[in-house]
């Protein structure tokens, strides 16, 4: 009897996400799962996709996002599905959209304003309420969410410029417990940001104590990514050891001219730590970062682009040096007039970026900011840039290795069961693309642009991107972490 599948992908070159060599085959999908992989020439599909000349790979997992709000406010997730992303990890850098006692404060404390600078989306009193909203109004992508330490400090403390008291630590720890019970995969910190700078290591450990019981992750935008990066790494490793949980080093980089080339040292230090405890890291494939605008960052950057300004929105997309000249004032004065605002900073060396990308255990995360008026091009271009510019163009790694870094590796490190691989029984999260042409189209001058070479993207068996536009389906799910998945 002829087999019939809900979706049948024919004649694909399959890169399965494990790092194994590619092979030719067909993929039969029933419901939300891959039912068969192999020669299905005698079968038919209710929807058939001819992938002749194309690669079929696991959908990419964005290891580091700030998509907490956009999944609710623009759930087609065009910036992500257009580049083959099917799952996003949110709540990073200590910033999560919940919990937030109601009514929320009228003024949003930076960097919480990276998710929403109006405050209207900080509407969820409990982390569970936020996850319930994501389940009730699914996005096109799956998500796995972290609760942010900076958010917890903002809602718990009356003075962020000091360590938390024992009572405040207990209150934050209760929020972490509630978040983990509701489905969070861990806690993130942003120790380089003002709301968390005064938090000593001991505070972070005590707030994160529930991670031990619930098998959660500790993900961190470390205290320093410049001159003091080695001490920041050691702090990160200590937190993981004392809690007995895996740590994720977010967007590993070396910032500042004085630190260019030091990735040789940091990667060796990370490799040595990996031999003693579970450690992993992610990286975005650009030598420029993006976050809130500060004078300190701008003063140490060879070039700064303003991505948004609430007080002077007309300057979004402009070089800060040009703005300073137009205003006829100092750099510090210009920054003060633009605040609150966001910016792109050119402070890294591409040789470090390449070295970190090539490191075997490096996952890929975009760190894109979807609510910036003129965002960093990584929001739309990260994953095709890895495949195109760094993989095919510079030859940093094979196609199989690149796909593994963006799928199977990430699923394993975050404990996302049956994701990140093409095999029978796995969820049907798939990216179909042209390996010979795939690349970013987004640039710093024109940052909002779908990538080239992405043909079709499926999430849980439903088409979310095809023919250069969103497919209309919203099949995304809130994923829980399963240690050892």
CA distance 397 to 164: 45
Q: Model-level pTM greater than 0.95?
A: yes
Helix (H) or strand (E) holding 221: strand 217-221
Encode pLDDT of 414-469 as tens digits.
999 999 999 999 999 999 999 999 999 999 999 999 999 999 999 999 999 999 99
Encode pLDDT of 30-65 as tens digits.
999 999 999 999 999 999 999 999 999 999 999 999
Q: Which of 135-144, 383-392, 409-418, 475-484 has the lowest mean pLDDT?
A: 475-484
Q: Which of 104-113, 160-169, 381-390 has the lowest mean pLDDT?
A: 104-113
Cα angle for residues 79, 83, 84 (degrees, 5° grid): 115
Question: Which pLDDT does position 1 carry in this prediction?
Answer: 62
* Local structure of 346: helix, strand or coil: strand
- The pLDDT mean for the chain works out to 97
Query: Which of 338, 335, 252 minimizes the C-alpha distance to 301?
Result: 335
Question: Which pLDDT does position 484 carry in this prediction?
Answer: 61
What are the b/e assignments for 363-377, b being 16+ CB within 10 Å?
Answer: bbbbbbbbbbebbbb
CA distance 397 to 387: 9
Q: Give strand pairing partners of 459.
A: 462
Question: Which pLDDT does position 143 carry in this prediction?
Answer: 98
How many angstroms separate the Cα of 47 from the Cα of each of 41, 364, 423? 15, 31, 19
First to last CA, the chain: 35
The pLDDT of 391-412, averaged and rounded, is 98
Query: Which of 186, 110, 188 minimizes the C-alpha distance to 148?
Result: 188
Reported as half-sphere exposure (CB side, CA atoms, 13 A), residue 289 has a value of 24
10 Å Cβ neighbour count for 477?
Answer: 18
* Local structure of 404: helix, strand or coil: helix
Higher pLDDT, 1 or 38: 38
Helices 331-338 + 320-327 axis angle, to 10:
100
Helix (H) or strand (E) holding 203: helix 201-207
Question: Which pLDDT does position 2 carry in this prediction?
Answer: 82
Q: Are 81 and 141 in contact (CB under 8 A)?
A: yes
DSSP state, residue 372: -
Question: Which pLDDT does position 483 carry in this prediction?
Answer: 76
Let me know how long the chain is. 485
pLDDT at 74 over 70: yes
* Local structure of 226: helix, strand or coil: coil
The pLDDT of 165-192, averaged and rounded, is 98
Query: Which of 170, 239, 151, 174 minimizes the C-alpha distance to 202?
Result: 239
pLDDT at 485 over 70: no
Query: Which of 366, 368, 363 minimizes the C-alpha distance to 410?
Result: 363
106 band by pLDDT with thresholds 50, 70 and 90: confident
């Amino acid at each position: 009897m002829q087999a019939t599948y809900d979706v049948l992908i024919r004649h694909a070159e399959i890169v399965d996400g494990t790092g194994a060599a590619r092979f030719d085959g067909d993929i039969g999908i029933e419901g939300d799962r891959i039912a068969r992989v192999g020669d299905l020439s005698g079968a038919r599909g209710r929807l058939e996709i001819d992938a002749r000349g194309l690669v079929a790979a696991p959908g990419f997992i964005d290891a580091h996002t700030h998509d907490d709000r956009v999944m609710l406010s623009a759930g087609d997730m065009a910036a992500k599905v257009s580049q083959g992303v099917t799952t996003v990890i949110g709540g990073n850098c200590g910033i999560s959209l919940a919990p937030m006692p109601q009514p929320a404060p009228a003024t949003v404390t930076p960097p919480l304003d990276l998710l929403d600078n109006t405050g209207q989306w900080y509407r969820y009193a409990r982390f569970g309420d936020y996850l319930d909203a994501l389940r009730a109004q699914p996005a096109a992508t799956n998500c796995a969410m972290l609760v942010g330490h900076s958010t917890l400090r903002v809602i718990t403390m009356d003075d962020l410029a000091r360590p938390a008291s024992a009572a405040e630590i207990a209150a934050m720890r209760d929020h972490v417990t509630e978040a983990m019970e509701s489905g969070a995969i861990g806690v993130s910190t942003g120790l380089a940001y003002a709301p968390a700078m005064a938090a000593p290591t001991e505070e972070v450990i005590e707030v994160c104590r529930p991670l031990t019981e619930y098998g959660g992750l500790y993900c961190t935008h470390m205290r320093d990514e410049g001159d003091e990066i080695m001490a920041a790494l050691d702090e990160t490793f200590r937190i993981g050891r004392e809690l007995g949980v895996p740590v994720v080093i977010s967007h590993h980089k070396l910032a500042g001219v004085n630190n260019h080339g030091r990735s040789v040292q940091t990667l060796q230090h990370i490799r040595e730590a990996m031999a003693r405890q579970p450690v992993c890291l992610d990286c975005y494939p650009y030598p420029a970062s993006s976050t809130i605008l500060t004078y300190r960052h701008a003063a140490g950057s060879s070039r700064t682009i303003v991505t948004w300004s609430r007080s002077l929105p007309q300057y979004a997309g402009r070089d800060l040096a040009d703005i300073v000249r137009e205003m006829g004032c100092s750099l510090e004065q210009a920054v003060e007039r633009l605040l609150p605002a966001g910016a792109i900073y050119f402070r890294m060396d591409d040789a470090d970026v390449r070295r970190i990308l090539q490191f075997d255990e490096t996952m890929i995360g975009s760190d894109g900011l979807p609510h910036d008026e003129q965002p960093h091009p990584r929001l739309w271009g990260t994953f095709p840039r890895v495949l195109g510019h760094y993989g095919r163009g510079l030859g940093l790694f094979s196609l199989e290795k690149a796909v593994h870094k963006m799928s199977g590796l990430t699923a394993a490190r975050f404990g996302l069961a049956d994701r990140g691989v093409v095999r029978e029984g796995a969820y049907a999260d798939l990216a179909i693309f042209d390996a010979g042409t795939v690349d970013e189209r987004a640039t710093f001058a024109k940052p909002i642009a779908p990538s080239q070479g992405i043909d079709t993207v499926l999430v849980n068996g439903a088409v979310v991107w095809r023919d250069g536009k969103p497919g209309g389906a919203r099949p995304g799910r809130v994923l829980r972490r399963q240690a050892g998945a």
